[in-house]
Amino acid sequence: MECAAKGSGTRCSAVATTLCARCEAVAYCSLSHRIAHWNHHKHECDRLQQQMESVEELNDFPFTSSHEATFQICAKQETRCSFLTKRGLHRVGIWMLECHCETSSASFDLLRSNNCWNLPSVLCPCRGPDSLVSEQLCSWRDYYNWRGIPLDSPIALLLHWPLTIYHAAQLVGITTLNLDVSDKLYIHYLGPEKELLQLAVFGELLALFPGVHIHIDLVGPAIHSQRDGEKIGISKYPCCNEANCVCKLVTENVSITSALTLQLWRGFYHDRYKDIVKDSFPHLIIAPNGGIAAYSSWLPSIELIGKIDVPAVFTDYCEEACHLAASCIKTVTGRPLRLPVQLNPFRQPIAVEDSVLLLPCYSNCFLFGI
């Protein structure tokens, strides 16, 4: 962990192990750096202290591996690599980017064509659900029970992408009950990165929005220029690793009434918006792990979103990042949040390693909206 005062003056002298005595959310390389940084830190200390009181809630997941994936990773007793290795998923297919060691060698073409969970059928949703969603899913336990999957399955590590879309839609009032099945559900998805190499898991939206035709425009600078404008149709769920499973039969794995189309757009949302809305005016805008406060390139996009007045939901790795983002948004739009900062029940249930704060951080951890 880096010293919280790094870059603010004198050179750091050691590993950051000296905690702020009040919030215990930030660390310093020395007592002198902690004292020197106080004039800056004092404006956030009380807020971080309150956030630290929610650590148990942040780490609360129903899975059998939760202690290993949360506390032990935060305490550096385990790593994401070791977690995946124990389950035979390290450096495998669509799991490849869930640790840092494969980022540079991952191939878009290879992973885009890999639609396999690399898990036995009992541990993954390789087929359609036995029943339609009868009531709103509010937790990972709800989802696993509905899909009939045991709580020792690691699939939530990837399914947090589509489940966060589902939850965001529910929060702004978009449900299968008020969707006209003769029309498409249009979603603008901003700033995708590693999920571009995990597109197969978005097929779960076919189960979450039965009978609905969904079109998602993924917009961001991480999209390769050769992929700009490419359309990808998804009509099935990722397969399991059992050769004789019915998920391998096209007739069993294709949704007759639902359809999902993804289209890739390279660039920033405010630059590509006019091109996109020629065919796709959004019902929902979502920006997972946006980092709004960290990148000035978000400001013109936030201004645009404020003008078109479409429900927009943003997520980030921790509550503090959302707080800073909310301040930026209020400055740009002049309006408070429509959807207050809140914990995402479908956050990824494995801690982010080497986070800036001592607060536990998770992908898609908190969300808020305008």
Give me the half-sphere count of Cα atoms (radius 13 Å) on the Cβ side of residue 225.
0
Distance CA 119, CA 370 (A): 38
Q: Which of 20-24, 117-121, 209-213 has the lowest mean pLDDT?
A: 20-24
At residue 40, the 3 state secondary structure works out as: helix
Cα 6 to Cα 228: distance, rounded to the nearest angstrom: 38
When pLDDT is cut at 50, 70 and 90, the band that residue 182 belongs to is low
On average, the pLDDT of the chain sits at 88
Segment 55-81 shows an average pLDDT of 92
Grade residue 108 by pLDDT with cuts at 50, 70 and 90.
Answer: low
Joined together, the tokens standing for residue 324 give 């800073």
Q: Which amino acid is at 69?
A: A
Q: What is the pLDDT of residues 204-230, one digit of tens each?
A: 999 999 888 999 999 999 999 999 999
Q: What percent of the chain has pLDDT over 90?
A: 59
- Please determine, for residue 366, whether its predicted confidence score (pLDDT) is greater than 90: yes
CA 66, CA 134: separation in Å to the nearest integer?
Answer: 27
Query: Residue 169's pLDDT is what?
Result: 96
* 347's tokens: 């956050």
**What's the confidence (pLDDT) of residue 109?**
57
User: Is pLDDT of 117 > 90?
Assistant: yes
Which pLDDT belongs to residue 103? 54
Q: Give the pLDDT mean for 54-75.
A: 92
- The pLDDT score that the predictor gives to residue 54 is 83
Q: pLDDT at residue 166 above 90?
A: yes
Over residues 34-47, mean pLDDT: 83
If pLDDT is split at 50, 70 and 90, which confidence band does 11 have? Answer: confident
pLDDT of 184 strictly over 70 = yes
Distance from C-alpha of 75 to C-alpha of 218, rounded to nearest angstrom: 35
Backbone angles phi, psi at 232, to 5 degrees: -130, 120
Identify which has the larger pLDDT, 271 or 252: 271
- Res 102: pLDDT: 60
Tell me how far CA of residue 207 lies from CA of 126, 223, 225, 258, 360, in angstroms. Answer: 11, 27, 31, 9, 31
pLDDT at 112 over 60: no
Opening angle at CA 365, ends 362 and 368, nearest 5: 155
What is the Cα–Cα distance from 280 to 184, expressed in whole angstroms? Answer: 9
pLDDT at 105 over 50: no
How much of the chain, in percent, has pLDDT values that exceed 70?
Answer: 91
Lowest mean pLDDT among 46-50, 185-189, 267-271, 273-277: 46-50
Contact indicator for 341, 366 with CB cutoff of 8 Å: yes
pLDDT at 286: 98
Report d(CA 73, CA 98) in Å as an integer: 14
Q: What are the backbone angles phi and psi of residue 74, rounded to the nearest 5°?
A: -65, -35
Q: Is residue 337's pLDDT more than 70?
A: yes
Q: pLDDT: is 135 or 192 the higher one?
A: 192
Q: Where are the alpha helices (DSSP H) in the chain?
A: 31-36, 38-52, 55-58, 66-67, 73-74, 80-86, 108-112, 140-147, 156-171, 205-208, 250-253, 269-276, 298-308, 319-333
Residues recorded for the chain = 370
Question: What is the spatial distance between Cα 209 and Cα 161, in angstroms, rounded to a whole number?
Answer: 15
Q: Which residue has the higher pLDDT, 226 or 182?
A: 226
3-state secondary structure 57-117: HHCCCCCCCHHHHHHHHHCCCCCHHHHHHHCCCCCCHHHHHHCHHHCCCCCHHHHHCCCEC
Q: Across residues 331-359, what is the average pLDDT?
A: 89
* pLDDT tens-digit map of 273-306: 999 999 889 999 999 999 998 899 999 999 999 9
Under the banding of pLDDT at 50, 70 and 90, the label for residue 75 is confident
Q: How far apart, in whole angstroms, are the C-alpha atoms of residue 348 and residue 354? A: 16
Q: In the β-sheet with 339-343, what is the strand arrangement from edge to edge?
A: 231-234, 259-266, 213-220, 184-190, 284-287, 312-316, 366-369, 339-343
